[in-house]
Amino acid sequence: MATVFIPSLMRSMTGGLDTVDVEGSTVREIVNHLDALYPGMKDRLMDKFRIKPSISVAVDGEVTPLGILEKVGEDSEVHFLPAIGGGSVEAG
Amino acid sequence: MALKYEPNIVLSTKEYDVVGTRPIRHDGTDKVTGAAKYGADFYMSGLLFGKVLRSPHAHARIKSIDTSKAEALEGVRAVVTAEDLPSITAEGSFKAGELTVDLKYLRDGVLASDKVLYRGHPVAGVAAVNVHVAEEALGLIEVDYEVLPSVMTAPEAMKDDAPLIIEDLETEELGEKTGKLSNVADHSQHTLGDVEKGFAEADEIIEREFNTETVHQGYIEPHNFTTNWNKDGRLHVWLSTQGPFDIRNSMAEVLGLGISDVKVTPMEIGGGFGAKFSVFGGPVAALLSKKTGHPVKIVNTRTEEFESATPTSGCYIRVKLGATKEGKVTAAQAYLAYEAGAYPGSPVGAGATCVFAPYDIENQVVDAYDVVVNKPKTGAYRAPGSPNANFAAESVMDEMAERLGIDPLELRLLNASKEGVRRSDGVRHPRIGCIEVLEAMRDHPHYSAPLEGPNTGRGVAIGYWMNGGGESSINITVHPDGRINLIEGSADIGGTRTSIAMMAAEVLGIPAEAVLPAVVDTDSIGYTSGTGGSSVTYKAGVAVSLAAQDVKNKLIERAAMIWGVDISSVEAERGVFQSKEDPELRMTFKELAAQLNDTGGPITGGASLNAAGAAGAFAGAIADVQVDPETGKTTVLRFTLVQDAGKAIHPSYVEGQMQGGVVQGIGWALNEEYFMGTDGKMDNSTFLDYRMPLALDLPMIDTVIVEVPNPAHPFGVRGVGEVCITPPPAAMANAIHGALGVRMRDLPMKPAVVMGALWGKGE
């Protein structure tokens, strides 16, 4: 199972847990399974069919431009991070 | 291992035929002869000239605007205000390059609708037969303002009784509105381990506060926009930009057009450093063009640049470090509050990611606050957010070394990050060169050279930048004379035409001079994300390697067809195609290219992709200074920058980036700031008074390029354009401490600040 790192400002939703092991082969599946474990998580992370613009998702250390479409491995680490604004970061 | 002194050292780990050499840049002739065309050079038949009326107040409500007298002036062709913008049809935000942009904020930033939020905020635009008439017309526009109280710094704006700049702004935490109306647009937090436990394990704890001022990117060429709203409904824009596709998208959103209704042609660019991603006067010029039926050009003055064009944040930072007496850092805590300017979006998030990134620290908490103030909206500036945070963290790290009695580089090496170590945000570093940079600093002759003269000091610092990737598209065409055209969408602000051309040449086995690179408009190449985040040589390098390999494969097929042999029996090495079985079957790239049109037609190749895997980079600075204890003036005696480039494609350009970044960092350190009162008026809005370092202020900057290859790139490239600005301010502060024995907490460390610190020490 992938290990999802819960941002500190969302740990009230996981009873204080900072990591959760979750099944899923894509970020989309990870979010769905996370939401099943901790209801409301999906609304917190996604707008309809995409990760919220204010949030970035990193899989195995790499912020992915694919968002929920990104593949997740059996031993992957998944981080939900504040999207970095105001600068030329992670792209241009 | 001690290094032998040379001004520019390259510690190469792998050699190539073209990559790593220093050919003359492809655009060099046009640049030095003046043939290169910049935005202000652009001219069209029937061109009108635009000017923008700007707010004289830092914060005010617009009660009315009367443009009738301006419209009646002879020579004026049109006047526009926010009422000329199409009504908003799409609420919310959209992606413009790496930035998420709120549409209402973007539109209000182009032309204020109900309030002005900073002095210089655009209120109206005029098009006239010449710029003088347009300027005269600005003075005839009557705006009735209700002046409101203003707030200029993050700590002031965060107070409960501070005037609200955007009255419905709620603080968000990871995309969730908190319901609290505030000038704090966003709060984020990173935590690792147990910071209280970490501080309890420390023998020494140091906590300090820091402030930095608003500074400007200081590019030579002001923003410029020429627009032509064609009769067929399509809009064509010519301008100086780092992100032609970002401009296309933003223009379309603001003007209510489809993306394909807008065509953007990037002109040559006279400096950007992150600032040239915003549309600014572009939509104003477009509306004026639509109203008049003529092309319209707007070129900012220097004062307009300073007063309205995206400087970077001033900030307040608090850093706390705990360490054992043996030098192991056990805990780190940072509080970062960055000014966003008039609308949300400071680079505080990047500052939070970078602040402790050079170190392996088990227990961390980093809180980051994005705060709106009555200053121009901030924009990206070379490693945005990182120099501020680095100044604070590396100053405290240096003080910790002093208190523990450990050499400052040895303390950094004891705690240095390496592959697998987690950053503050929890993400593990990939293969990085932090230790290699620190070792090269330690081994450099500069670090062990004796200091000479009174009141001299040496300081060191190491900084981090995460670098970026993104979308890139490359098309290659083979000419019959053996040269190739290389079409790209990345605006060239740092010599990337040549670095991309060199990688194509390496793959194809031809000289760099045989590649003809061209940056084209948004209709002529696939989507390409902006030139920022030190991304271009990384992402375009991946794309061009694939595109060149595509061409190479097609050439192998063609050679096999010409020779009537199986493709698998043909190989290409260093620009020579030959049969593995028959040594007589052999052609150079040029000979094969000459036969293409007669043997099946031309060959083209291409690649479009979204490149991930841009690994972060580290740079370390060694600074020697001499400070006059009677005046507080600091003189830079010697400066060496060591940086991991992964692989330097063109070492001269990498060295140029390093030297330029250091010079800007020294400007942050010693001189540069906006002098602003509470009225928001900038008192030093010219280059005469906004004091950037000049050649006479500086020694030659020595460079050491370390090459720890990035495994995700075909040649090992890491971005090089930004990290170089990060460590100089802290290294300078630590050097001033070495000279005078006082710790500096505020940037810039101008004479008055140095003398204040000295007097605070009792001298």
Which residue is closest to A5 within chain B, CA to CA?
B426
Q: What percent of chain B has pLDDT over 90?
A: 95
Q: Which residue's entry shows tokens 């205000």?
A: B81
- Looking at the predicted structure, is the pLDDT value of residue B645 above 90? yes
Say whether domain A2-82 belongs to CATH 3.10.20.30.
Answer: yes
Residue with the larger pLDDT of the pair B763 and B632: B632
Burial B721-756 (b: 16+ CB within 10 A, else e): bbbbbbbbbbbbbbbbbbbbebbbbbbbbbbebbbe
| B462 beta partners | B620
A76 vs B4: CA distance, rounded Å: 44
Query: Which has the closest alpha carbon to B395: B87, B9, B96, B734?
Result: B734
pLDDT digits (tens, 9 = 90+) for B31-40: 999 999 999 9
The reported pLDDT for the residue numbered B91 is 57
> Exposed, middle or buried: residue B155 (CB in 10 Å: 0-12, 13-18, 19+)?
middle
Strand stretches in B439-504, DSSP E: 456-465, 470-478, 484-488
Identity at B332, one-letter amino acid code:
A
Omega before B480 within 30 of 0, i.e. cis: no
- Looking at the predicted structure, is the pLDDT value of residue B157 above 50? yes
Q: Do B470 and B243 meet the contact criterion of CB atoms below 8 Å apart?
A: no
DSSP for B370-412? EEE-SSPPP---SSTTHHHHHHHHHHHHHHHHHHHT--HHHHH
> Exposed, middle or buried: residue B428 (CB in 10 Å: 0-12, 13-18, 19+)?
middle
Neighbouring CB atoms inside 10 A of B29's CB total 11
B704 vs B440: CA distance, rounded Å: 8
All structural domains of chain B, each given as residue ranges with its CATH number in brackets, are: 1-10+433-465+615-763 (3.30.365.10), 39-149+219-305 (3.90.1170.50), 469-611 (3.30.365.10)
Q: Do B22 and B651 meet the contact criterion of CB atoms below 8 Å apart?
A: yes
From chain A, pick out residues whose CB is under 8 angstroms from the CB of B274. 87-88
- Looking at the predicted structure, is the pLDDT value of residue A91 above 60? no
The reported pLDDT for the residue numbered B63 is 98
Q: What percent of chain B has pLDDT over 70?
A: 98
Q: What is the mean pLDDT of residues B506-533?
A: 97
Q: How many CA atoms lie within 13 Å of B318's alpha carbon, on the beta-carbon side?
A: 8
Determine the 3-state secondary structure of B715 from DSSP: coil
Chain B closest-CA separation from residue A69 CA (Å):
14
From chain B, pick out residues whose CB is under 8 angstroms from the CB of A7. 174, 188-189
From chain A, pick out residues whose CB is under 8 angstroms from the CB of B713. none
Nearest by CB: B347 against A63, A86, A92:
A86
pLDDT interval class at B442 (50, 70, 90)? very high
Burial B644-658 (b: 16+ CB within 10 A, else e): bbbbbbbbbbbbbbb
pLDDT digits (tens, 9 = 90+) for A27-86: 999 999 999 999 999 999 998 888 988 899 999 988 888 899 999 999 999 999 988 764
The reported pLDDT for the residue numbered B302 is 97
Backbone angles phi, psi at B30, to 5 degrees: -60, -35
User: Which residues touch A72 (CB under 8 Å, ≥6 apart)?
Assistant: A2, A24, A25, A26, A27, A29, A30, A59, A78
From chain B, pick out residues whose CB is under 8 angstroms from the CB of A55. 174-175
- Looking at the predicted structure, is the pLDDT value of residue A90 above 90? no
Helices B728-740 and B751-761: crossing angle in degrees, nearest 10, is 40
The reported pLDDT for the residue numbered A88 is 41
Determine the 3-state secondary structure of B525 from DSSP: coil
B342 vs B508: CA distance, rounded Å: 50
pLDDT digits (tens, 9 = 90+) for B286-339: 999 999 999 999 999 999 999 999 999 999 999 999 999 999 999 999 999 999
pLDDT digits (tens, 9 = 90+) for B184-236: 999 999 999 999 999 999 999 999 999 999 999 999 999 999 999 999 999 99
Domain extents for chain A?
Answer: 2-82
- Looking at the predicted structure, is the pLDDT value of residue B726 above 60? yes
Contact across the interface for A79 and B188, Cβ inside 8 Å: no
From chain A, pick out residues whose CB is under 8 angstroms from the CB of B353. 84
Provide the mean pLDDT of chain B. Answer: 96
Query: Which has the closest alpha carbon to B643: B2, B8, B4, B3?
Result: B8
The reported pLDDT for the residue numbered A85 is 60
Q: How many CA atoms lie within 13 Å of A54's alpha carbon, on the beta-carbon side?
A: 20
| B640 beta partners | B622, B702
B597 vs B610: CA distance, rounded Å: 33
Determine the 3-state secondary structure of B648 from DSSP: coil
pLDDT digits (tens, 9 = 90+) for B93-119: 655 554 566 888 999 999 999 999 999
pLDDT interval class at A89 (50, 70, 90)? very low
Contact across the interface for B95 and A62, Cβ inside 8 Å: no
Task: Output the CA–CA distances (angstroms, integers) from residue B221 to B40, B217, B269, B384, B489, in the order listed.
Answer: 9, 11, 7, 20, 21
Q: Which residue's entry shows tokens 């850092």?
A: B329
> Exposed, middle or buried: residue B194 (CB in 10 Å: 0-12, 13-18, 19+)?
middle
Q: What is the mean pLDDT of residues B263-292?
A: 96
**B122-128 and B48-54 strand pairing:** antiparallel
Chain A closest-CA separation from residue B349 CA (Å):
5
- Looking at the predicted structure, is the pLDDT value of residue B55 above 90? yes
Contact across the interface for A88 and B378, Cβ inside 8 Å: no
Give me the helices (H) in A6-84, please. 27-37, 41-45
Contact across the interface for B384 and A64, Cβ inside 8 Å: no
Nearest by CB: B531 against A18, A58, A92:
A92
B218 vs B668: CA distance, rounded Å: 11
Q: How many CB pairs under 8 A join A and B?
A: 154
**Displacement of CA B696 from its chain's centroid (Å):** 26
The reported pLDDT for the residue numbered B90 is 53
Max Cα separation, chain B? 89
B272 vs B492: CA distance, rounded Å: 10
The two tokens of residue A82 are 């504040």
> Exposed, middle or buried: residue B669 (CB in 10 Å: 0-12, 13-18, 19+)?
buried
Q: What is the mean pLDDT of residues B507-521?
A: 98
From chain B, pick out residues whose CB is under 8 angstroms from the CB of A83. 100, 349
Pick left, alpha or beta for residue B489 (phi over 0 → left; psi -120 to 50 → alpha; otherwise beta): alpha
ipTM of the complex in this document? 0.92
User: Which residues touch B569 (CB under 8 Å, ≥6 apart)?
Assistant: B560, B579, B580, B581
Helix (H) or strand (E) holding B349: helix B348-354
B400 vs B247: CA distance, rounded Å: 46
Instruction: Please report the residues numbered 7 through 66 in chain A whose beta carbons come closer than 8 angstroms to any beta carbon of chain B.
Output: 7-10, 18, 44-45, 52-55, 58, 61-66
| B464 beta partners | B618
The two tokens of residue B120 are 């210089």
A47 vs B544: CA distance, rounded Å: 35
B673 vs B339: CA distance, rounded Å: 14
